[in-house]
Structure 1
Amino acid sequence: MTSPVFISYNEVKNILTSSMIKESVEEAFKSVVVSKGNNQDHPYAYQCPRIRTSSHNVNGILLTMPGCISNHKVTLPNGERKTFETLACKLITRSPKNNQLTPQLPNVLANILLFDEQTGQLKCVMDGKYITVWRTVAASLVATKFLYFGRKNVNASNGVTLAIVGCGVQGESHALEMFRVFSTIRECVSNADIIVTCTRTVEPILHLNMLKKDVHINAVGAAPGGKHYCELGQDIYDIAPVYVDSLNGAKTDLADLKTNIVCAVGEVILGVGKCPEKGISVFQSLGMAVEDAAVAQAVFQYRKNKQTKSRL
């Protein structure tokens, strides 16, 4: 048996590109709405709801996110697109006192395990923190592409206004360019066409009377307990169609949310679901194991391809 390779945070960061992440996430979105054998042109997937295990000694948690995505495409450095089956599991630990250590550690750590799809042998351990951040950004970008820019009445030639609420890692990562910082959330979102919320609030910070009539919202943040729908007021959920990355995930993570969940974004991508023609729309971002799996496979294959070239 060969030992698994380890791919560090810095190596992942040096390999990943925007196009690589967006391609992988779009493949993952499609995979969760396609059944095996129904369409050989599209990826299909199986994933369990995330499993939460408490760690009593450090008051932390371990989140386990296993998933398998088959028939998905990866674009290699030479431009060739190859099809893969990927079996992976992301492990996330949250230890609230890590930032008090000397030297400090992040409170949230992530690792992705990749397995050989034929034998089940562990082939790679990959630092997953960078992937977690940027696959979440990519999910918002892909959702916005199909749910906002897919509307017939949207004319982006004069530009659109983006508002980002939250200035943590996700907020900073979503902000490709920042021109102005507002003192209140109402000022920030009042003229926005697209809004991203990336906070850990336990109370709603956006309400219907703050928003333009045709705005798309990517709700990314989660409260400290893991609740995914604290950022938006119920008055928004009462009138806005809600789209998710995974309907199965929504059954668990959004079980108590009173709203109209229309479909998964993957259904819109594949043309079997409709994007809203106008009005407010919401992408409730939950995060999926197969997103991490698809991105990790792309990183692994890029590294493998590069090493093969260097030996020739």
Structure 2
Amino acid sequence: MIRVPTGGATPASIVDTLKAMAGASPKARARFAKGRCVRGTYIPSDRAEEITKSRSFTGASRVVARFAVDGNSRMPDTDNPVLRGFSFRLGDVDHRSDILTQSAPVHYARTLAQMLAYLKVRVPTPDGRPDPDKFEAFSTANPETLHQASYMAAHPLPASFADTTYWAVHSFPATNGRDETQFIKFKIVPVGNRAAPTEDVAETKPGAFLHDDLQSRIAARDIRFSLMAVLGRPGDPILDVTTRWPDEDQRETVRLGTIVITAIEANEVCDALAFDPAALAEGIGYPPDEIFAARRAAYATSLAQRR
């Protein structure tokens, strides 16, 4: 049985192992290397102030965002299921918030040590594949690390970034103008009809079809998402990002605003600004889980290596 190590797990070791898994160069992104930078606007709803006093969410602003596919830059979009990412920046220089979301509502590890062990059993051997015995032993000993993959297997992704629902897997403390604080989860919901699942069209699509589709959609019209706050309750598992809140899909939600993507942006813009999970304007606090704390440090490490 493979047990989760108690030492040796650091944000730097996580970044190094991610790059070893993907066969990526030191200057590549550790995750979601294949992406497309876009820009647009954010329009707050009249209910945003009920949830947070953060001016990133209560005021209109420009948006810089990035759609991406997890893995290395050579991975074809037809690989399914592959996690998708949507990172975006709201607000201005004094009230900036960067939110990182993905196409599954849970993470694959609860702690930093478990995350490192999860990644290590997936590092390819010389024949190009992970060791199946190590993989099976680890999964048996750590069943919660399969929750993300199980969700993705049960929920085929649509054949478009624009029709995908995204989640920030962490529980964020949100404080409104009355100094009332509650935990929320961010959920990004596409406005409009969904495309067919990827598995129905992948055989007939080129390897970059997600990026081609995004470019053609934006050329024809804007793309809209509702930025939702899923409201927490006392007793929710705010420290375990491998587990969803009870009845999460039936929870009360508040639409904080609408993200409108209007144009393709040069990828160098997103590379230069680097979405930072630590950038949260007053009114949205840091999630208390261990993975978020590690992510803040890991993104800084990865950015330093890329530069």
* TM-score of the superposed pair, with normalisation by structure 1: 0.25
* TM-score of the superposed pair, with normalisation by structure 2: 0.26
